[in-house]
Structure 1
Amino acid sequence: MRLTHTRAVFLMIAVTLMWSIAGVITRHLEHARSFEVTFWRAFFTALSLLVILPVAQGREVFTKIRRGGPALWISGVCWCVMFTAFMVALTLTSVANVLVTMSVGPLFTALVARIFIGHKLALRTWVAIFVAGAGIAWMYGAQVSGGQLAGTLVALCVPVAAAVNWTVVQRSHAQGHDVDLVPAVLVGAVLCALATLPLAVPFSATPHDLGLLAILGLVQLAIPCVLAVRCARILKAPEVSLLALLEVIFGILFAWLGAGEAPGSEVLIGGTLVIGALVANELLGLKERS
């Protein structure tokens, strides 16, 4: 099926729906916790991609990994950090805290790209960075006495690693060496599983837990990552960033309805600042490009 712009938009919405089930599924685990949750999710993601990638890209996908060079392996390490920090953060703090903190990724990316590869930032992006930073600071300030600050700080590793990842990819592209992000996701999943295995034993996951974690590996991560890369070939970067923000809304809603985890007032206020800054920045960017 040829992927038109309209189909890409709806497919990206479906991707955000799949991404957003992580929080509510994690809340229904029986015994698996922390690094064991991270290990099994990464394991099932790697297993799924080992089946999906040869079907989608042929056997040459493994040649791409062998010949990917330093950029692909750095990207894989960044994916490993994101996978690990995301799941550990979900076990330490609320779904809303994690998702709102992760949503500043595009602004972190813009800032890191400005520092390390000289990308110029528009005034609107500087303003968005300031406003989003104020929203995150508001959330952090309210959580210092609430015992959830550690989880939010761990979640902050996700947008930081994402910023490094995209900057490495952009720099590699500028030098004429494109990085295929889907094989990099496979590398990241394998590295994450290997890194967390010693911390995950002895295993305590029940068959019920393993079923849910297999869903996370396949439906919440492997499939949407492949589809998101395909959508990114059709949609403009601001469109992808805007549609990706639906993960925050869907994720908080699913955790609220499916696990009774209502977001606190500090998350609603801070999240409104963060999401509002991101939406305004990307909409203005689209207007300038058009």
Structure 2
Amino acid sequence: MTTDPVRGIFTNRTLNLRSIKAIGYDMDYTLIHYRTDDLEKRAYEITRERLSRRDWPVDDLVFDPSSVVRGLAVDLELGNLVKATRFGYVIRASHGTRMLSYEEVRKAYAGTLIDLSESRYEFMNTLYSLSEGNLFAQLVDRYDAGQLPGVRSYYEIAEAVQTALDRTHVEGTLKAEIHANPDRYVVPDPEVVRALLDQQHAGKHLMLITNADWEFADKMMQLAFDPYLPRDMTWRELFPTIIVSSGKPGFFAHDHHFYRVVDEENALLKPHRGKLEDGSVYYGGNATIL
């Protein structure tokens, strides 16, 4: 039997799944796939509106999905987007939206290795980075042209864009639009459901660990999963452990406490100590306790 490589599951080392007892999944862009250009365009537009309210000249800016990709690094010191090799050598770069020549790249980065642990760099490692990278590059152009009065550095531009984009994703406008019009934003994928059913039948303990809040996560999982599950089964029966508002990547490094959602209708929380109970919904927490 041949397998479509696009639909395969890959690891970067030999992995014996017999020894794996539990598997955790993110929701957005993992279990649920979105029409990236449409979703990131709308996120860009809402974020642009927020920046416009700061009297920044952004109303004429347009989202360009082809201008950035995942895997780039943002150089906050020079206002550049850079593509580096696995060893940290810069091979291509743009300043704002303008591609730099070979000589300009060599002059800026000769003897410099991109170290993502340094505060100078931000790694664009998710599809959410597309709208953020677009706005940052375009605003670098405006800053260089003297059109952002009061802004003193590229760091400030990046912070303003990230703060506005975070609010776009946390607050309700974009979420409400996704839920109201799933055909526009969500890619149906029954094969994801079948893969998880196979893992469940193989005895794996499945966990949903998402940064989304409970209300949004429940609505989206119902939309994406329930139509493809066996009759009378819901998505919650696939995931004995459900953690929302997890705060990743801090979830893996911090020691935040878990809260149990005791009233799912109103998202009321109660501090939780001890083992997580199957079938309950938890808020926050950290990987060590899990």
Task: Give the TM-score category using the shorter length.
Answer: under 0.3
Greater strand share, structure number: 2
Greater helix share, structure number: 1
Q: TM-score, normalised on structure 2?
A: 0.24
Q: TM-score, normalised on structure 1?
A: 0.24
